[in-house]
């Protein structure tokens, strides 16, 4: 077994071959990760159902410079990411942080991306550190707060215009047009954005039973758990200023292999595994009291929004009941061992 003496960051590069392989793009991206000016980085490809040819090409290119977790069966990326972190920690020991990277992410010639993220993580202030991307950021949802009863058209352009009127950010930008500059952004209660490049702390991993991505969701919405997960361990969620990485949108096809909308409810936000329903936590008075919020978009009907309770947070945006909030998150956003046994998930580790 390869020994890794300096385990700071585990970079998990998530690929999916259910619809198609993007092998040469993967090679280009991994090479950009290997060029990072940072000691203590280890890279693993977390591959769900990529072809044998794709796997052979990656191993031929990188051999034991990186690790591999190959999943021969269909799973959502939340599950494969969670399982890959478990397998790598089992093999090498725990890391200080675990970086989720979408398959569409490349660092190009920027060699300080990992250092910038790690510099925030090592302050011990943050449970999540996010690197900005150009496309599909959904930064219009960062402000959090109460949306009220306003209704807007369901489109990225409408999201952006609505957000700008509130003093917020737009849905996405062109590469090089960095939205958050000059000062890091601390995500407030009720805020969220899309998952593309997120570094999670080891403390969070241990607190949430060695899982970082909410595995109850079949398609979208797992990001709504993030702000509550950080507040539940008395930490913040930060977005790094002045840095942006390029993101090829929908490269491996979003939610490949699963229905984006529930066959039972007809929508994407109540599309959960194991017969669960989002209405269970949206209508739970204890969840509301603890400060949970969910799907607080201005483009959807009021009965599909769960706006968090302002009284659950103090003037500094700290959760008043962090232990209760963390327990609520565990209960509703993560499957039980009976529903999903990670020990039984088939994976080839190399």
Q: Is the pLDDT of residue 2 over 60?
A: no
Question: Strand runs (DSSP E) across the chain, as ranges?
Answer: 9-16, 41-48, 67-71, 97-102, 105-106, 126-133, 185-186, 197-201, 236-247, 348-349
Q: Is the pLDDT of residue 1 over 80?
A: no
The region, left, alpha or beta by phi > 0 then psi within -120 to 50, assigned to residue 234 is left
Q: What per-residue confidence (pLDDT) applies to 137?
A: 97
Task: Give the largest CA-CA distance in the chain.
Answer: 57
pLDDT 10s digits, 255-293: 667 778 888 898 999 999 999 999 999 999 999 999 999
pTM given for the model: 0.96
3 state DSSP class of 337: coil
Residues 65-86, mean pLDDT to the nearest whole number: 97
Residue 112 near residue 143 (C-beta atoms within 8 A): no
Residue 235 near residue 125 (C-beta atoms within 8 A): yes
pLDDT 10s digits, 145-193: 777 788 999 999 999 999 999 999 999 999 999 999 999 999 999 999 9
pLDDT confidence tier of residue 3, bands split at 50, 70 and 90: low
Cα of 19 vs its chain's centroid, Å: 21
Question: Strand runs (DSSP E) across 134-230, as ranges?
Answer: 185-186, 197-201
Least confident of 112-116, 143-147, 211-215, 299-303: 143-147
The full set of domain ranges for the chain reads 9-349
pLDDT 10s digits, 203-239: 999 999 999 999 999 989 999 999 999 999 999 999 9
Angle separating helix axes 52-62 and 23-34, nearest 10 degrees? 30
Give the architecture (CATH level 2) of 9-349: Alpha-Beta Complex (3.90)
Count of all residues that appear for the chain in the document? 350
- Residue 137 sits at φ, ψ, to 5 deg, of -75, -35
Q: What is the DSSP letter of 174?
A: -
Nearest to 183 by CA among 129, 142, 240: 240
Q: Is the pLDDT of residue 20 over 60?
A: yes
Q: What per-residue confidence (pLDDT) applies to 144?
A: 81
Q: Mean pLDDT, the chain, as a whole number?
A: 95
């Amino acid at each position: 077994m390869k020994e890794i003496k300096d385990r700071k960051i585990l970079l998990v590069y998530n690929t999916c071959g259910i619809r198609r392989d993007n092998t040469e793009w993967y090679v280009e991206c991994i090479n950009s990760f290997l060029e990072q000016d940072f000691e203590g980085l280890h890279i693993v490809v977390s591959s769900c159902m990529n072809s044998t040819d794709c796997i052979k090409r990656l191993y031929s290119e990188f051999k034991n410079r990186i690790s591999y977790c190959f999943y021969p069966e269909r799973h959502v990326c939340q599950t494969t990411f969670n399982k890959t972190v478990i397998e790598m920690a089992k093999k090498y020991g725990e890391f200080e942080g675990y970086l989720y990277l979408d398959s569409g992410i490349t660092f190009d010639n920027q060699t300080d991306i990992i250092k910038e993220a790690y510099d925030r993580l090592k302050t011990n202030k943050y449970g999540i550190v996010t690197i900005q991307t150009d496309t599909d950021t959904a930064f219009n949802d960062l402000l959090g707060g109460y949306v009220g009863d306003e209704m807007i058209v369901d489109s990225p352009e409408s999201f952006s215009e609505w957000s700008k009127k509130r003093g917020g950010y737009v849905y996405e930008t062109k590469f090089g047009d960095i939205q958050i500059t000059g000062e890091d952004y601390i995500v407030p209660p009720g805020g969220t954005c899309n998952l593309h490049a997120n570094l999670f702390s080891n403390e969070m991993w241990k607190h949430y039973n060695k899982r970082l991505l909410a595995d109850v969701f079949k398609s979208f919405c797992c990001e709504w758990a993030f702000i509550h997960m950080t507040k539940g361990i008395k930490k913040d969620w930060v977005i790094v200023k002045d840095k942006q990485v390029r993101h090829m949108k929908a490269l491996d096809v979003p939610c490949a292999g699963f229905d984006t909308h529930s066959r039972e409810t007809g929508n994407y936000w109540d599309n959960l595994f194991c017969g669960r329903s989002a209405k269970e936590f949206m209508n739970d008075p204890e969840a509301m009291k603890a400060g949970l919020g969910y799907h607080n978009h201005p483009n959807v009907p009021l009965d599909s929004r769960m706006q968090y309770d302002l009284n659950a947070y103090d003037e500094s945006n700290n959760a008043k009941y962090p232990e209760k909030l963390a327990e609520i998150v565990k209960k509703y956003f993560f499957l039980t061992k009976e529903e999903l046994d990670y020990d039984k998930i088939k994976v080839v580790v190399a």
